[in-house]
Amino acid sequence: MTEYRSWIPTQLEWTVSPARFGFRIPAGSEDLVATLASGTISVRAPTIEVAQSTARLNESCMRFVGAACCRWLVLCGGPWDDAVKKFYLHDVIQLSPAELFVVIGESAAEVPVSPKRTQLKQEAVDRIARFEQEMEDQRKILEEKQAGFEHDTDEVRRIGNAMLDSFGSPDAPPPIPPVVSDLSLQPERGSLITRVPVRKRDRIAAVLKSVSDSVWGPSRDGKYRCAIVPMVDGSKAVYLQWTRREVMTPALEFKSALERKLKSALSKPRRRGCAPPRPEQISGNEDVVRGVLANADEIPGQNELSDFLPRPTGEGREAIKKNGFEAIAWYQQFHCYDEGSWGIHLHSPKLDEFVADLASDLRRTEARSRQVAALVGVQLVVAHELFHAQVEFAAAWHELSGRRRRYLRYFDHAYTRSRFTPDWLEEALANWSAHEWLLENLDRLHRDGIVQDPIRLRSVVEDWLDFSPAGYREWRAGDDHVTWDRLASEIAKGDPSGHGFNGNVLPLGGLLRRDTLFDLRLDDIPVYFVGQGVVASIYFGSPSRREVAQVLRHFGYGVLSARGKGSHEVWKGGDGRTFTVPLRDPLSIGVFHSLLEHFGWSKQQYMQEIRAKI
């Protein structure tokens, strides 16, 4: 494989988990599916027996677990209290098509639990259930046959019966236990470094070499999660995980290339801080926290929202009438704002007012109007802001190909000059994109029973788009390809395209289509929450490190200073269990989920009960 070069700086996120163990197993291992399904394996000390109730590991693997347990005893500094030790399955990483890397730990996984891994577990549960059903069916067939033979005195049948007893087989071949490759989802992919260099530079080189040696291709965003784990042979290894790059160029490459090669395209200096389009929008002393947007399916029940959401006052509607979706959220461009400030900013109190008013419009047709409004409202706002990012990345692509600054000129001359006029094309197309999100998801929301009256919902949303200010309300122009060509021409030329067609409008609309030019995902863009709000707290995927520390302290946990080094902190509770907190903000959704899992809380419980205690 040729050496991979990326403009995006490599970011290594190191975590150390002393309470874990790693070993390799062949990808065809049957028992791994059962382990995936149960999430645990039980090991009896000192001889290694695997408990009936939980998964068995195959022969070679058992040898590994045996060695792991011996090593474990040494590390834990003594024999176990119980005869049977339960280990939790933490990670399954596919190193190559033929080989997997399995990580087990003493306590439940503290590593990020990705949606993919949750689905993988569900797949394994389903597949095991199917396998057991097939076994059960065959057993019944066999029993029926045997019962039939018992009443038969015929000599030949008796011989047949004896044969059946000795082979114990019905007509069909026995069901085959599932293997990992039977599952429609593969485990997450990664690579393994078995010898970790001490010097930082060498470590980065080792990571990049390991990635280029792997069959999976490099990271799309420059990020590599590097987890150091003890191996069964006593050595230490690092297993790497990343989101691989697809065929299309990741949008973040443009940003990084621009920052390195065409600094003149960016503001100098780039600004910091939170700057809403209308400064009076924020009071100035509101908290701005970087967060991760949670999955939309985690919206709480109607009652919870009823208790906490403000009453509809019409203020949300007024704000949108005056300022469009920018009343609720805005996008700060990387051309103008520094790392740490660029990205989507959501104004949490305004978001609540908007959702409350939207819900009141849906009250007559939707039994769960607040839930629907919270879900749809946030997605519309996010889709709108994502389009602004898309425009900026398209401009960056254009700047790189022509080696000339464009975006800032476009922003000053075309975008700003057409504010609140029907020619405010970027806002028109941003609203068109929000509407497009609705069209793409309406059927699914209806099918899943979330939305009861999709026709009414669509017309309510279109009303909201229609009473937005000039520019915003021209969203239907997105159906005409000329609008796309016009906006792309404005970016290319840096001045308003005007109404004249000839000569003014270049056929460049394709530049703005994310699905044809580059790979931009919502995850690529930082999201900030400004101020406090109910809906924002639902979508706020993870709390800050400080908050998690407060929670742990509240429940009697203390930092183990001897074990926490560098990138993480290990906390220990009264019951002896530990929880690892990475030293970075915001914590990933996975760490938050592990915290919930660790204490057995639901997210709702956390938001309403636990947060109130600290």
Minimum distance, C-beta of residue 345 to Zn ion, in the bound complex (Å): 12
Minimum distance, C-beta of residue 506 to Zn ion, in the bound complex (Å): 23
Minimum distance, C-beta of residue 326 to Zn ion, in the bound complex (Å): 5
Task: Identify the DSSP state of 348.
Answer: H
**Closest to Zn ion by CB, 183 or 395:** 395
Distances in whole angstroms, Cα of residue 539 to Cα of each of 352, 384, 444, 475:
12, 17, 20, 26
Minimum distance, C-beta of residue 468 to Zn ion, in the bound complex (Å): 10
Residue written as token pair 């701005």: 288
Give the per-residue contact string, 386-425, with Zn ion (x = CB under 5 A; - = no): ----------------------------------------
Three-state SS string over 253-278 comes to HHHHHHHHHCHHHCCCCCECCCCCCC
Minimum distance, C-beta of residue 334 to Zn ion, in the bound complex (Å): 16
**Closest to Zn ion by CB, 430 or 607:** 430
Query: What is the distance between the alpha carbons of residues 176 and 420, in angstroms, rounded to a whole number?
Result: 66
Minimum distance, C-beta of residue 427 to Zn ion, in the bound complex (Å): 5
Residue 462 burial class via C-beta count within 10 angstroms: exposed 0-12, middle 13-18, buried 19 and up: middle
Residue of 329, 466, 323 whose CA lies nearest to 388: 329
Minimum distance, C-beta of residue 387 to Zn ion, in the bound complex (Å): 7
Minimum distance, C-beta of residue 309 to Zn ion, in the bound complex (Å): 24
**Closest to Zn ion by CB, 240 or 430:** 430
Q: Which two tokens stand for residue 122?
A: 């569900």
Minimum distance, C-beta of residue 527 to Zn ion, in the bound complex (Å): 15
Alpha helices for 172-241 (secondary structure H): 200-213
Query: What is the distance between the alpha carbons of residues 351 and 370, in angstroms, rounded to a whole number?
Result: 13
Residue of 349, 328, 333 whose CA lies nearest to 278: 328
Site size for Zn ion, by CB under 5 A?
3
**Closest to Zn ion by CB, 192 or 429:** 429
Minimum distance, C-beta of residue 15 to Zn ion, in the bound complex (Å): 38
Stretch of 38-46, 242-250, 266-274, 322-330 lying at the interface with Zn ion (CB under 5 A): 322-330
Distances in whole angstroms, Cα of residue 161 to Cα of each of 104, 144, 172, 175:
46, 12, 17, 22
**Closest to Zn ion by CB, 329 or 450:** 329
**Closest to Zn ion by CB, 326 or 569:** 326
**Closest to Zn ion by CB, 415 or 539:** 415
Residue of 242, 192, 186, 239 whose CA lies nearest to 217: 242
Are 7 and 257 a contacting pair, CB within 8 Å?
yes
Task: Identify the DSSP state of 298.
Answer: G
Stretch of 105-113, 195-203, 321-329, 579-587 lying at the interface with Zn ion (CB under 5 A): 321-329
Three-state SS string over 365-426 comes to CCCCHHHHHHHHHHHHHHHHHHHHHHHHHHHHHHHHHHCCCCHHHHHHHHHCCCCCCCCCHH
Q: What residues does 21 pair with on adjacent strands?
A: 104
Is 320 a binder of Zn ion (CB under 5 A)? no
Query: What is the distance between the alpha carbons of residues 581 and 472, in angstroms, rounded to a whole number?
Result: 43
Task: Identify the DSSP state of 540.
Answer: B
Alpha helices for 22-175 (secondary structure H): 31-38, 59-76, 115-150, 155-167
Beta strands 343-347; 527-530: pairing state = parallel
Give the per-residue contact string, 515-544, with Zn ion (x = CB under 5 A; - = no): ------------------------------
**Closest to Zn ion by CB, 326 or 352:** 326
Query: What is the distance between the alpha carbons of residues 553 and 547, in angstroms, rounded to a whole number?
Result: 10
Stretch of 78-86, 304-312, 319-327, 541-549 lying at the interface with Zn ion (CB under 5 A): 319-327
Stretch of 394-402, 426-434, 453-461, 538-546 lying at the interface with Zn ion (CB under 5 A): 426-434
**Closest to Zn ion by CB, 355 or 430:** 430
Alpha helices for 151-239 (secondary structure H): 155-167, 200-213
**Closest to Zn ion by CB, 438 or 451:** 438
Residue of 113, 111, 220, 162 whose CA lies nearest to 520: 220
**Closest to Zn ion by CB, 420 or 606:** 420
Stretch of 239-247, 320-328, 440-448, 601-609 lying at the interface with Zn ion (CB under 5 A): 320-328
Minimum distance, C-beta of residue 571 to Zn ion, in the bound complex (Å): 42
Residue of 6, 3, 27, 11 whose CA lies nearest to 242: 11
Minimum distance, C-beta of residue 120 to Zn ion, in the bound complex (Å): 38
**Which residue is at the shortest CB distance from Zn ion?**
430
**Closest to Zn ion by CB, 323 or 497:** 323
Is 383 a binder of Zn ion (CB under 5 A)? no
**Closest to Zn ion by CB, 64 or 410:** 410
Minimum distance, C-beta of residue 380 to Zn ion, in the bound complex (Å): 11
Minimum distance, C-beta of residue 472 to Zn ion, in the bound complex (Å): 7
Query: What is the distance between the alpha carbons of residues 213 and 1, in angstroms, rounded to a whole number?
Result: 7
Minimum distance, C-beta of residue 448 to Zn ion, in the bound complex (Å): 29
Beta strands 288-291; 527-530: pairing state = antiparallel
Query: What is the distance between the alpha carbons of residues 396 and 390, in angstroms, rounded to a whole number?
Result: 10
Is 430 a binder of Zn ion (CB under 5 A)? yes
Secondary structure (3-state) at 237: strand
**Closest to Zn ion by CB, 445 or 465:** 465
Is 429 a binder of Zn ion (CB under 5 A)? no
Stretch of 56-64, 346-354, 430-438, 450-458 lying at the interface with Zn ion (CB under 5 A): 430-438
Residue of 216, 264, 263 whose CA lies nearest to 239: 216
The residues binding Zn ion (CB under 5 A) are 326, 427, 430
